[in-house]
Amino acid sequence: MLRIGVLVSGGGTNLQAVLDAIKDGTITNAEVSVVISNNKNAYALKRAENNGIDRVCISPKDFESREQFHDAFIKKIDEYQLDLIVLAGFLVAIPEAMIKKYRNRIINVHPSLIPSFCGVGYYGLRVHEAALERGVKITGATVHYVDEGTDTGPIILQKAVEVRKDDSPKELQKRVMEEAEWIILPKAIQMIANGQEEIG
């Protein structure tokens, strides 16, 4: 059984997609052991509670230095003996020591077709605003392994989504979530849990 930790900062819609996929059997041989957020008001923590999953809030704001936060953060992750860490809208930089320790065991879902509209500063609505500003006809989402760069790790899955002429950033964001993120994130976890994708 693959033990998963999901890291989130907000509503947790991708977390919900994973939980739903485990419930309906789309994801097998996996369980979410803990949900960790840097934001005590994140609705994702409520989703964890509703599903009887451990939930933890650990924020850089609660520590005197970034180093202290990193130490506490990694210690908390280690406690759960996780096989896979899923970043699902987690807006805190992952410490390099954690990336080294959990090499090829951390995945992220990003709301564009990497290498487009990714890297430092591209998160949330900003990604979709940039896609619309550039006038692309196709966007989408990517699930990739996390390395020391920003959105630079090896790609696991991508799915394209059509951009419509009258799209607002919010409309595009919603469609990319529904048509791409919520599909490929569970699919990537299923592949990893069942040995169809290398891990570790």
- 144 labelled catalytic: no
**Block residue for tokens 């090896």:** 154
Antiparallel, parallel or unpaired: β 138-145 and 106-110? antiparallel
Angstrom distance (rounded) from CA 152 to CA 149: 5
**How far apart, in Å, are the Cα atoms of 109 and each of 39, 69, 153, 164, 184?**
19, 24, 11, 22, 9
Q: DSSP string spanning 45-65?
A: HHHHHHTT-EEEE--GGGSSS
Angstrom distance (rounded) from CA 46 to CA 56: 11
Task: Decide: 39 and 68 in contact? Cβ < 8 Å.
Answer: no
Q: Which of 70, 110, 128, 144 is catalytic?
A: 110
Length of the chain: 200
Q: Which residues are catalytic?
A: 110
